[in-house]
Structure 1
Amino acid sequence: MVTGICDLPADCLALVASLTSPGDACRLAATAIALRAAADSDQVWGSFLPADCTDILARCSAAGDERRREGETNKELFSRLCDCPVFLDGGKLSFSLERHSGAKKYMIALWHGFGGYQYYGLEDSSSHTFTFTPDLRYDLGNNLGCV
């Protein structure tokens, strides 16, 4: 009798998917219907959220930056944090996730006189190094929203 990966129990498949990256989990879900349920599970997407995600979201400063929406799955929360940064600490800092790796991304607002706040990005990678680059997409004068 020949067996394949789809014959493994769903919890084993979910554990394997949780040890990969968000991009790999999406590719796994696209390969077979039997793998989709495991790769889309809350357990898998919870492993891609930062361990301190609850603490970070508790620091949200804008009314629209809800901490956790009712009925929201971990996959939906992950996707929301990739698509639309949340503003922390009175708008001086924003937080988001990098879609393919799940790395934390922070934007720091620095005052530039009459030009207002300019955001500079810090991205935490798996090597624990940070990338520091100017980011023109965020401006406190533009309703604290996503572009």
Structure 2
Amino acid sequence: MEGKEGRTHFSSLPEGVIANILSLTTPLDVCRSSAVSRAFHAAAQSDIVWDTFLPNDLDDFISRSKPGGLNFDPITSSKKEIFFSLCNSPLLIDNAKKSLSLDKQSGKKCIMLGARDLSIVWDDTSVYWTWESHPESRFGEVVVIFKAWWLEIRGKLSSGMLSPRTTYAAYIVFKMRERRYFGFNIDFVDAMVGIVGSEHSVKTVCLDPYLDDPLQRRRHVPQAGSNLPTNNISGLEMPKGRHDDWFETELGEFDNNGGDDEVEIILKDLRCTDSKNSLVVQGIEIRPKINPE
């Protein structure tokens, strides 16, 4: 079929050709294009399209998952079904200490380091920290501050696990075990994210999800002479609610240019102004930095 100027209408192209064209776009573009016409809708279901959005090393990740841990059949499921399964149901890998998921908009890989995959100072001392199961965590255990002054959490992973030529950001995923917590409105935390061996900029972040609403919990007044940081929170990285009912705070970002460098994430508060309690850490998520439309 030709248009008014004698040019072939795009929708009249063979389905395979349309599928190949769509495979050069993004998952978000494909979903939008499926509403254009019946031809586009049919092409947008093709394995040719969705296979290009799946990681090249997916088989390796599957081999690192626990038996029975897949929410799809690698053989019989369509590529689209596999893609959205990985978007909606993270795949637990490496003895269920990490998870792999895909970003719906770009198809880029997202990795979360579970609490058991992090290095946490004094996490083996029950006076300061305790390990618990949590019904809303994707991992078997979370770590909870019982009462601590010193907070230091570190995570590392190979950049080869991530999508190349991508800007990533790291987020601590957490919540408070109860509203009657204290300490996090008094001391903010320093975060550093980057490739091992490179210079890291320090970012000050907040782990108090109710800092601007102290009526939601007991207000803990700092000791005389200390500075309450709530007086100066302009530009501070604040916690944001997630779709899974956890909170997250962005710790920093880095460019993954390929290769097999090691990425490190450091979160620490060495000020020791006051004790802290009730912070529940699920893990640290590393996912692509997506610009809002």
TM-score of the superposition, structure 1-length normalised?
Answer: 0.80
**Matches of 1:41 and 1:19 in 2, distance apart?**
13
Flag the structure with more relative contact order, 1 or 2, with Cα contacts below 8 A and sequence separation at least 6.
2
Equivalences for 1:70-85 in 2 at 5 Å?
A: 70-85=75-90
For 2:173, the equivalent position in structure 1 comes to 135
Q: Distance in 2 between matches of 1:66 and 1:44?
A: 21
Task: Find 2:40's aligned residue among 18, 21, 35.
Answer: 35
Deviations 1:70-103 (CA, angstroms, capped at 9, x unpaired): 5210000000000010100101110000111101
Higher helix fraction: Structure 1 or Structure 2?
1
More displaced, 55-64 or 12-21? 55-64
Q: Could you tell me how far apart the structure 1 residues matched to 2:163 and 2:59 are?
A: 20
Structure 1 residue 62: Cα displacement: 5.3
- For 1:38 and 1:99, how far apart are their aligned partners in 2? 18
Corresponding residue of 1:13: 18
Q: Summarize the Cα distance change of 1:125–1:88 in structure 2 as closer, same or farther, 3 Å threshold.
A: closer
Counterpart of 1:77, as a letter, is I
- Runs of at least 4 residues of structure 1 off by over 4 A? 122-126, 137-140
Higher strand share: 2
Equivalent residue of 1:55, what SS?
Answer: helix
Could you tell me which runs of 5 or more consecutive residues in structure 2 were left unpaired when the two chains were aligned.
124-129, 132-140, 144-154, 175-245, 247-280, 284-293
Equivalent residue in structure 1 for 2:107, among 97, 102, 111:
102
- With structure 2 as the length reference, what TM-score do the two structures score? 0.42
Instruction: Provide, for residues 100-140 of structure 1, a one-character-per-residue CA deviation record: whole Å limited to 9, x for no partner.
Output: 1101000012345214546x8x9956643331111235859
Structure 1 or 2, whichever has the larger Rg, is 2
Change (3 A) 1:109 1:21: same
RMSD: 2.6
Residue equivalent to 1:144: none
Match of 1:145 in 2: none
